[in-house]
Amino acid sequence: MAASNPPVAKAIYVCDQVVPNVARQTIDLLGVFNAFRLPTGQSVPYTLARMCVFVQMEDGLGDAELQVFVVSAATGQVIFHSPIHRVRFPNRLTVVSANIRLVNCPFPTAGEYWVELYCDGQIMGDRVVHVLV
């Protein structure tokens, strides 16, 4: 079921790791990046072991489905995507944060990719990630 009011993404980050700091009740983003270079000796196609897409949303109401698509800027085609994840907005003032962690992310070529975040099938925002060789 789609959210009765669509949420708005206030911030989207692509990073290595998102760590909940339980003691301080905060969330720590580690290794925020918009490009990565292949390790020495590696070539494309390259599989990035882990990638996190962190988003903060508000103005939503009800249940919503989140999904990340990674799109090749050169072809406009989806290279890989996440499973669909469900989040709940108790009211429109609540800021809901989500970390979508993906493992084994295949990048077929070097170049530009768009990390797109969708909510209930509508794009909320995106980040550009470059794969450098």
Nearer to other proteins, 1 or 24 (CB): 24
43 forms part of the interface with other proteins (CB under 8 A): no
Where in 76-105 is the site for other proteins (CB under 8 A)? 76-83, 85, 87-88, 90-91, 93-105
User: Smallest distance, Å, CB 78 to other proteins?
Assistant: 5
Query: Which residues contact residue 117 at a Cβ distance below 8 angstroms, ignoring those fewer than 6 apart?
Result: 9, 12, 53, 55, 66, 67, 68, 100, 123, 124, 125, 126
119 forms part of the interface with other proteins (CB under 8 A): no
Q: Write the CA distances from 76 to 57, 70, 125, integer angstroms.
A: 26, 10, 16
User: Smallest distance, Å, CB 69 to other proteins?
Assistant: 5
User: Smallest distance, Å, CB 43 to other proteins?
Assistant: 19
Give the Cβ contact number of residue 54 at 10 Å.
20
User: Smallest distance, Å, CB 41 to other proteins?
Assistant: 23
Residues 110, 113: Cα–Cα separation, whole Å: 9
26 forms part of the interface with other proteins (CB under 8 A): yes
